[in-house]
Structure 1
Amino acid sequence: MFYNWTELLPNIKKAFADLGKSNPKMVKAYMALGEAAAENNVLDVKTRELIAIAVAITTRCDSCIGVHTDAAIKAGATREEIAATLATAISLNAGAAYIYSLRALEAHDTLKG
Structure 2
Amino acid sequence: MENWNEYRKELMARVGELGKLSPDTVAGYQALAGAGKKTQHLDAKTRELIALAVAVTTRCDGCITMHVAEAAKLGVSREEIAEALGVAVAMNAGAAVAYSARVLDAFAAQG
TM-score by length of 1: 0.94
TM-score by length of 2: 0.95
Runs of 4+ with >4 A deviation: none
How many residues matched?
111
Q: Which residue of structure 2 lines up, in the alignment, with residue 26 of structure 1?
A: 25
- Give percent identity, aligned residues only: 49
| Distance (Å, rounded) in 2 between the aligned partners of 1:101 and 1:70 | 36
Whether the aligned pair in 1 keeps the contact of 2:55 and 2:64 (CA below 8 Å) is: yes
What root-mean-square deviation, in Å, do the aligned CA atoms of Structure 1 and Structure 2 show? 0.9
State the Cα distance separating 1:37 from its structure 2 match.
1.9
Q: Deviations over 1:27-86 (max 9, x none)?
A: 111100122122111111111010000011111111111111111111110111111111
- Report the AA paired with residue 72 of structure 2: I
- Report the AA paired with residue 61 of structure 1: C
Q: Residue 39 of structure 2: SS of its match in structure 1?
A: coil
Q: Which residue of structure 2 lines up, in the alignment, with residue 43 of structure 1?
A: 42
Q: Residue 34 of structure 1: SS of its match in structure 2?
A: helix
Q: Which runs of 5+ in 2 are unaligned?
A: none
Q: Which residue of structure 1 lines up, in the alignment, with residue 84 of structure 2?
A: 85
Whether the aligned pair in 1 keeps the contact of 2:5 and 2:65 (CA below 8 Å) is: no
Whether the aligned pair in 1 keeps the contact of 2:57 and 2:88 (CA below 8 Å) is: yes
2:12 is equivalent to residue 13 of structure 1: yes
- Report the AA paired with residue 41 of structure 2: V
Whether the aligned pair in 1 keeps the contact of 2:56 and 2:85 (CA below 8 Å) is: yes
Q: Deviations over 1:5-37 (max 9, x none)?
A: 121110111111110010001111110012212
- Report the AA paired with residue 23 of structure 1: S
| Distance (Å, rounded) in 2 between the aligned partners of 1:6 and 1:45 | 21
Q: Which residue of structure 2 lines up, in the alignment, with residue 57 of structure 1?
A: 56
